[in-house]
Structure formats: structure tokens, C-alpha cells
Structure 1
Amino acid sequence: MTASYDKTISQAQSNETQELVDRFNALDTDAKLAWFYFVYKKMGDSITPAAPAAAEPELAPLLLGDYFKLSKEQQLEIMRDIVNRKDTEYSRAYGAIKENNQLLVWYAWAVAMGDTVVGIPASYQPSQAVNDLLSEIEGLDFEEQMSVFRTIAGEVGYTDVKPIATQAETGKTSSL
């Protein structure tokens, strides 16, 4: 769960986009990581203009600084921990930032893959499920794509911050 919204309320805007998020969630860990990589390889030019204008990279020094100095094995483990929502230092750092910053993290990692970030093995072939998911997302309009990306990025990582209970849930009015 991220600090920016209640994860129980999806940001996916339609049944179609929610179904794509659900299909992403059904992928195994490494397929999810491959999906992030291929999304940025295929659609990075359309995703990145939306994120940097609204992103604040200085809020993620651990993820956009220290991370690049780690070994490839450590980097891969951190990525796996984030998509598996494990309670680790890096997963908490990721879970504490808003979706636009989370998208910026994945973008920065994708750009650096094979250089300062662990890359996908040259022999890797994405599964049919990954390819199908990418194709269907490519067919969406930009706004729908971004709702899928924000939802997926926002659902991974770890935080123990809980949404604030509403008046309807508590029966109490807020005091000022």
C-alpha cells in the first residue's frame, strides 16, 4: 500500500483496465519485472513525459541513488522484494512515495538496465501472458494506459501506512 491512496480502491478506470491489472498480478515475480522492463522499452517515450512533470525524484534518494551502487544480485533482489511487497528497507522506501515517483523509479531503472542496473538475460523470452498483456495495453488510449501503470506501480512496494478511516466508517466527525 502506498501513502498516496487506499489500495483497496483501484485507480484503474474501467473493467477492462482493472482486468489488465488483475492479469499483471497473476504473473510470477520475474514475469512482473520483465513486464516493467518491456513497458518502458516499448512505451517509455509516452510514459515518461507524464511522470517527470509530476514526479519529485529527490524524494527517492535510496531508489534513485544508492540503488545504482549495489551489486546486480542485490538490485535484482530489491526489485523482487518490491513486486512481492516484502517488508524491506527498499520496498518501504518505494511504498512511501506516490505513483508518479514510483513510475519514475521504474523508468530510471529501465533506462539503466544492462549498464548500472541488472539487465534481462539476452536469452530471456517473455511468456505469452507478458506479451499478451503488453499488446493489450498498447491498444489502450494514453489515459487508460496511465491508469493501468499507476495502479500497478502503486500496488507494489510495502508500507504499513493505513488509509484514514472515513466518517461513514467511524461514525465520528473530524475535529478541527
Structure 2
Amino acid sequence: MVLNQNTIKSQALSKETLKVVDAFNALNTDEKLALLYFVYEKMGESITPAAPTATDPELAPKLLGDFYELSDDRQLAIMREIVNRENTEYSHAYGALKQNNQLMVWFAWAQAMGDTVVDLPENYQATQAINDALAQVEKLDFEGQISVLRTVAENMGYTDVQTIPSQAETGKTPSL
């Protein structure tokens, strides 16, 4: 099986966590961005942060350096491009990262919102769908939360790298 930009990748997700991923995927682009912000805002309270030692910020200079110098409108456009998996420079930079570094990008952006990263509009009201999805994330244990966040993060950004079919999928053994 070759994954394309429309294929949802998941790793060892339970029925409960798949339900949360489905709720996220049902949101529109801006709702997804808001939900990510709210998830990271609640880290350390009802949501457990991933280990920061599992990331390497130097691997994302475009996303964690150049990005901060852009206008609010351009930053928001880039976030939307990443969520929508568009074939753009920043979406490629994001898609080239491993899951932990993708999560680190969203965490860093959420931490800088309102300072060096575009913030939610002052009068922003979360939709019921966002509130419901956030409540579902909060109910999960640490492993479930990280599983959902990794899946969500991995299914954003653009990459043209194709996965290599496994022996189970092809029925063939690898050869030189």
C-alpha cells in the first residue's frame, strides 16, 4: 500500500483514540488550528506534555526561526497550508519532520501565540465541535493523548516521500 496525501496514517490507535482523531478530522481548517492551540494551552493541566528531550528544534529552522519574522497574516496562511497538506515551502519543511518534531513545532507556536506568533482573535469563541473534541482529548490517558497528537501532527504537512510496502502487504521478501 502506498500512502498518498489523502491517506490517514495511524499507529496503534485504539477505538477510543481513533474516535478523537475522527473528531479532529471533521473540523474545518481554522477549527483544527484553534483546537491545537487549546490542547497546548491545557498542557500540564488536563493534558500531559510529551517529553521535550525527544525533540530537536535545530531540525526546523524555517518553522522555528524564519516563521517568527513573518506577518500575522502570513503565519496564519502557513499554518493553514500545513493543516491542508498543501504543496508549499513551509508545508514541505513541516512534512519532512518526524512526529515528535512536528508536535514540538505546534507546541512552540502555541507558546508564542500573541507574542511572536499570530494569536486567536480577541473575541474568538470555540465552536461546540472544538469543545467536544477538546473534552475527548482531555479524557484520554497520557498514551492516548500522545497517540492522538502524533497521528494528527503526522497527517499534516506535505511530503512526496512514499512508504515502502511491507512484506505482509506485498507477500514478497526483500532482496538485494
Alignment deviations for residues 12-52 of structure 1 (CA, whole Å, 9 cap, x no partner): 5211110110110110110000001000111256544x242
> How far apart are the structure 2 equivalents of 1:162 and 1:97?
14
Runs of 4+ in 1 over 3 A off after TM superposition: 44-48, 168-172
Partner of 1:31: 31
Question: Quick check: which one's helix share is greater?
Answer: 1
State the shift of 1:8 in Å: 4.7
Alignment deviations for residues 62-100 of structure 1 (CA, whole Å, 9 cap, x no partner): 101110011111100000000011010000110110110
**Secondary structure of the corresponding residue to residue 27 of structure 1:** coil
Partner of 2:141: 141
Q: What is the letter of the counterpart of residue 157 of structure 1? A: G
> How far apart are the structure 1 equivalents of 2:157 and 2:141?
26
Contact persistence 1:44–1:107 (CA under 8 A): no
Relative to structure 1, the CA distance from residue 59 to residue 17 in structure 2 (aligned partners, 3 Å threshold; closer, same or farther) is same
Q: TM-score, normalised by structure 1?
A: 0.90
Q: TM-score, normalised by structure 2?
A: 0.90
Q: What is the letter of the counterpart of residue 147 of structure 1? A: S
Partner of 1:63: 63
Relative to structure 1, the CA distance from residue 17 to residue 169 in structure 2 (aligned partners, 3 Å threshold; closer, same or farther) is closer
Q: Among the aligned pairs, what percent are the same residue?
A: 63
Partner of 2:103: 103
> How far apart are the structure 2 equivalents of 1:109 and 1:152?
16
Q: What is the letter of the counterpart of residue 134 of structure 1? A: L
Q: Which runs of 5+ in 1 are unaligned?
A: 1-6
Q: Which runs of 5+ in 2 are unaligned?
A: 1-6
State the shift of 1:171 in Å: 4.4
State the shift of 1:149 in Å: 0.6
Contact persistence 1:51–1:100 (CA under 8 A): no
**Secondary structure of the corresponding residue to residue 43 of structure 2:** helix
Partner of 1:156: 156
Contact persistence 2:82–2:157 (CA under 8 A): yes
Q: What is the letter of the counterpart of residue 82 of structure 2? A: I
**Secondary structure of the corresponding residue to residue 43 of structure 1:** coil
Q: What is the letter of the counterpart of residue 129 of structure 1? A: A
